Amino acid sequence: MNSGIGLADVIVMFAYFAVVVAVGIFAGRFTRSTSEFFFAGQRFSWWLVAISCVATLVGSYSFQSYSQVGYLYGFASMMPYTNEWFILPIFLVAWLPIIYYTRVQSIPEYFELRFDRPTRTAVLVLLLIYLEVYIGINLLTIGQVLFGVFRAYAPFETPDLNILLAAGLMALVAGIYLHHGGQTSVLMTDLVQGLLLLGVGLGVLLAGVYYVGGPSAFWQGLPPDKRMPMAPFNHPPGLHTVGDFWNDAIIGTFAFYCINQGVLMRFLSVKSVRDGRKAMLATVVVLMPLAAAAVSGAGWVGRSMNTLGLLEHDAATLALQTSDPNIVEKTIADQIFVNVARHVLSWPGMFGLVMAAVVAALMSTLDTLITAVSAVAVNDIWRPLNPGRDDAYYLRAARITSIIATLIGLAMIPVGTRFETIYQALSMFTSLVIPPLVVVIFLAVTTHRFTARAAFWTLVLGSAAMVVSLVWPEVIRPFSHGVDPSAGFPYLRGLFGLIASLVIAGGLTLVETRLARLPSWFARWAVGTASLAGIGGAVWLPLASRIDFSSTGSTADSWGWITGLLWLAAGFALVSARIVVQGPRKHESVDGLVMGTIDHARQMFKGGQPSEQGVGRSLVMPLVIVDAPATDHQVCLPPEAMRQLKVEPGDLLYVADSRWWLGGFRSFHAKAGPAAEHPDALHLPRQLAELGHLLPDRAVRIEKVM
Amino acid sequence: MTIWYSWLYHYGVGGAFFAFCIWLMLRTGALRPRQERHHLRLLMSMTGGLLLFMTVHALWILLAAAG
């Protein structure tokens, strides 16, 4: 992005920082326990979580990169934001209810319940790599953006140091409110940031359409191939349907909603699973297409303006001494977001607002990731090492680890600058860990036959398979769908990883559930033969690769990928042999942890038989706060209210301030007690009213949750 | 019109995965639309949403192709 920032822009940006920090610190006043720090007390409404989710998904690089894609490929740039439907059943019916009802606090914790400690540790390592790399990449992006804008004021001569300084300052701003309020602050600041980034993005699009002469002129300005909502099947290399489908629709979406601890914590902060489902549906159907238009709009408008001769090019493009149209096109695309914003929003302070939206996109992603690392570190490292301490101790640990997570993210920046582009760095790291995790989570929640040892070794060998595909991209070719191989199949590496991990997972499950139960001599013979074949091949092929194959028309290097595959086969054979020698393990109960046994989890969550009668109904009544002791978080409703809501003693209730726009900010969960004597108002012990931050003169809305 | 290959692949393979997941849920009893009213609503929302995206993308392609 170019410099040339004015005083009004600087004022707008600093005003934005002040508002975000103020909102974050205000919301942080309501955080008193680890449950509130990580999950905001599980009390928020679906719409707040949905907006927050979109704010998280739109990263700091989104405006820049999706505008480029929008300029180069037209409306097809919306594909990554409108292809999430296929994963929905798994998330809505299996993953969300399992995680919510079992009350696990982190993804690795689920794996210990479902499998065993080693699997939890393996997931913990992969998850921390994924999250910390993500934090580093976001900090790097914003460092580069701010360095570009404030280049004239940069204190150091070395660009990398200036980027580090800018990223550090942004981390400090996010850290101030995060350290204070955790998830509650994240949700409330994300509301501000989500609305800002959607508003500015859509504002640029609408102002741009008006600038070119209205919707008809805008449409006519787009070349026919740029009007298509989907990219061609397997070309051009930058965006094609087959790559988008596997890399983004399946793996990316699964990773975002099921593996990203930060997003999962967002869904765990809703007041009920029903609201979590509503949040997901609203996100995918309404907010994601809007976000797609917001981040890509400048690219579409820029293309239309260019065709109609309305786009004035900046100095860098005009100075370009080349006749290669691809380089000119790429250079225009690189600048298109700022260029279009400057054309269509030209009054003072608007550029500052646009920059504030870009920074908002970063901070809303960054704060989510930092809270996620903090949650994983406290629940999966700190708590197991220091068990039995009071909640205040773990809350302090959470606040300290959020600072450490940010510092590690900053330390990742020099690693990220070694890559040609930020996207390359992100793809490289995430592709190593995501496909095996996707397969393991999918099988863990869908089938009880998937065993602990199969899960653990799928994570290990699956990651090894991804390393093989990085070293020898040739292994991806059978799954390339005719995509040009010269770029090394970056968008299809995930498909290879999925298939390799599925084969490993299925194979090892079969070994444990079938082969290990066979008569021992046969099992030893079968697995021993496979092991020898695998190891023999892995040893032979590196030797064979030294042989000159030129006389046969082949080259030594062309055999390298077979070496990689044989190393994997050898690993698989050794693990199989180990499982057979150890024998089958005793079958552990997976009730409540696998799809089809969720009723068990619901029963445990409620502490009794769940009933759906009256769920979703609500009523508003006055609140009277009384100085009486609270018994076991019990709320006694008037008899008429119990009848209307079909509430029985022991049912789970949600009591909130009746103003819907608070989104559950003042609310709490309670159990229904016996019917109260007072017919017209809810008489609530002061302790419970304070728990839900309820105000004495405000009516409350009561809802049956379960 | 090769763009329809993209649409067919996207909703063909994706739809097959979606259908497989729904089948798995019905088979394991995670989704019981005949017994639970909210399960039926959930099933209809999920299927309706998929059909909505399929239809919007198809209509958009037709509109773009018409110029």
Among A70-74, A150-154, A263-267, A274-278, which is the least confidently predicted range?
A: A150-154
Q: How close A302 comes to chain B (CA, Å)?
A: 19
B67 has a chain A CB within 8 A of its CB: yes
In the stretch 37-56 of chain B, residues with CB closer than 8 A to chain A read 37-38, 42, 45-46, 49-50, 52-53, 56
Residue A487 has a CB neighbour count (10 Å cut-off) of: 11
The ipTM of this complex is 0.96
Residues of A in contact with B26 (CB under 8 A): none
Q: What is the pLDDT of residues A350-388, one digit of tens each?
A: 888 888 888 777 777 887 888 888 889 888 998 888 888
Confidence of residue A2 (pLDDT cuts 50, 70, 90): very low
Highest mean pLDDT: which range of A151-160, A308-317, A443-452, A570-579: A443-452
Per this entry, what is the length of chain B? 67
Instruction: Identify which has the larger pLDDT, A173 or A427.
Output: A173
pLDDT at residue number A1: 43
pLDDT at residue number B41: 92
A690 exposed, middle or buried (CB, 10 Å; 0-12, 13-18, 19+)? middle
Q: What is the pLDDT of residues A469-501, one digit of tens each?
A: 988 888 898 888 989 888 778 888 999 999 999
Highest mean pLDDT: which range of A59-63, A494-498, A530-534: A494-498
Q: What is the pLDDT of residues A682-692, one digit of tens each?
A: 888 888 888 88
Q: How close A667 comes to chain B (CA, Å)?
A: 25
Q: What is the mean pLDDT of chain A?
A: 84
The upper half-sphere exposure of residue A17, i.e. CA atoms within 13 Å in the direction of its Cβ, equals 16
A249 has a chain B CB within 8 A of its CB: yes
Residues of A in contact with B37 (CB under 8 A): 612
Pick the residue of A82, A83, A88, A599 with the most B CBs within 10 A to test the interface with B by mutation: A88
Q: What is the pLDDT of residues B13-48, one digit of tens each?
A: 999 999 999 999 999 999 999 988 889 999 999 999
Asked if the model's pLDDT at residue A550 lies above 60, the reply is: no
Question: Percentage of chain A surpassing pLDDT 90?
Answer: 27
Q: What is the pLDDT of residues A267-280, one digit of tens each?
A: 888 999 999 999 99
Q: What is the pLDDT of residues A96-139, one digit of tens each?
A: 999 999 988 889 999 999 999 999 999 999 888 888 888 888 88
Is B25 in Cβ contact with A89 (below 8 Å)?
Answer: yes
Q: How close B8 comes to chain A (CA, Å)?
A: 10
Of A385, A414, A381, A436, which Cα lies nearest the Cα of A130?
A436
Confidence of residue A292 (pLDDT cuts 50, 70, 90): very high
DSSP assignments along A339-387, one per residue? HHHHHH--STTHHHHHHHHHHHHHHHHHHHHHHHHHHHHIIIIIHHHST
Encode A66-78: b = buried (16+ Cβ within 10 Å), e = exposed: bbbbbbbbbbbbb
- Give residue limits of the domains in chain B: 2-66
Q: How close B29 comes to chain A (CA, Å)?
A: 5
* Residues contacting B41, CB < 8 A, separation 6+: none
Q: Please tell me which residue of chain A has the smallest CA distance to B40.
A: A93
Residue A365 has a CB neighbour count (10 Å cut-off) of: 28
In the stretch 280-339 of chain A, residues with CB closer than 8 A to chain B read 281, 284-285
Is B10 in Cβ contact with A83 (below 8 Å)?
Answer: yes
pLDDT at residue number A551: 43
What does the alpha-carbon distance between residue A274 and residue A282 come to, in Å, rounded to a whole number? 12
Q: What is the pTM of this model?
A: 0.89
Token pair of A82 as six digits:
């409108």
Within A417-492, residue ranges assigned H as helices are: 422-446, 452-471
Is B21 in Cβ contact with A85 (below 8 Å)?
Answer: no
Is B42 in Cβ contact with A92 (below 8 Å)?
Answer: yes
Q: Is the peptide bond before A674 cis (omega within 30 degrees of 0)?
A: no
Provide the greatest CA pair distance for chain B: 48
SS3 state at A33:
coil
Residues of A in contact with B5 (CB under 8 A): 233, 241
